[in-house]
Amino acid sequence: MRIALPKRMIKAVQRAVIEFDLLEKGDKVLVGLSGGKDSIFLLYALTVFTRHLSFPVQLEAMTVDLGFKKPEEMDWRPLEELCERLQVPYQVQRVELADDILHHPEQTPCARCAYFRRAVMHNYAQSHGFNKVAFAHHYDDAVETFLMSILYSGQLTTFLPKTYLERTGITVIRPLVYLRESEIRSFIKKRGIQPVPSPCSLDGYTKRAEIKQLIRDLQKKNPHVFTYLAVAMREGRPMQFWPRELTKEEIRRKSFRFWYGKDPDDLDTPD
The pLDDT mean for the chain works out to: 91
Task: List C-alpha distances in Å: 231 to 19, 142, 224, 236.
Answer: 16, 11, 11, 10
Q: What integer is the mean pLDDT of 168-184? A: 97
Q: 43 lies in which domain range? A: 7-202
Count CB atoms within 10 A of the CB of residue 67: 17
Q: Report the domain count for the chain.
A: 1
- 236 domain residue, yes or no: no
- 132 domain-assigned: yes
Residue 210 lies in a domain: no
Q: Is residue 42 part of a domain?
A: yes
Residue 167, pLDDT > 60, answer yes
Q: Answer whether residue 145 is part of any domain.
A: yes
User: Longest Cα pair distance anywhere in the chain, in angstroms?
Assistant: 86
Asked if residue 228 belongs to a domain, the reply is no
Q: pLDDT per residue over 1-13, tens digit each? A: 567 899 999 999 9
Neighbours of 94 (CB within 10 A): 13
Q: Tens of pLDDT along 13-58?
A: 999 999 999 999 999 999 999 999 999 999 999 999 999 999 999 9
Assign residue 41 the CATH number of its domain: 3.40.50.620
Q: What is the pTM (predicted TM-score) of this model? A: 0.89
Q: Does 270 score more than 90 pLDDT?
A: no
209-213 mean pLDDT: 93
- Is residue 209 domain-resident? no
Whether pLDDT at 115 is above 70:
yes
Is residue 242, in this structure, part of any structural domain at all?
no
Summarize the chain as % helix, strand, coil (round to 5): 45, 10, 40
Q: Can you tell me whether residue 202 is helix, strand or coil?
A: coil
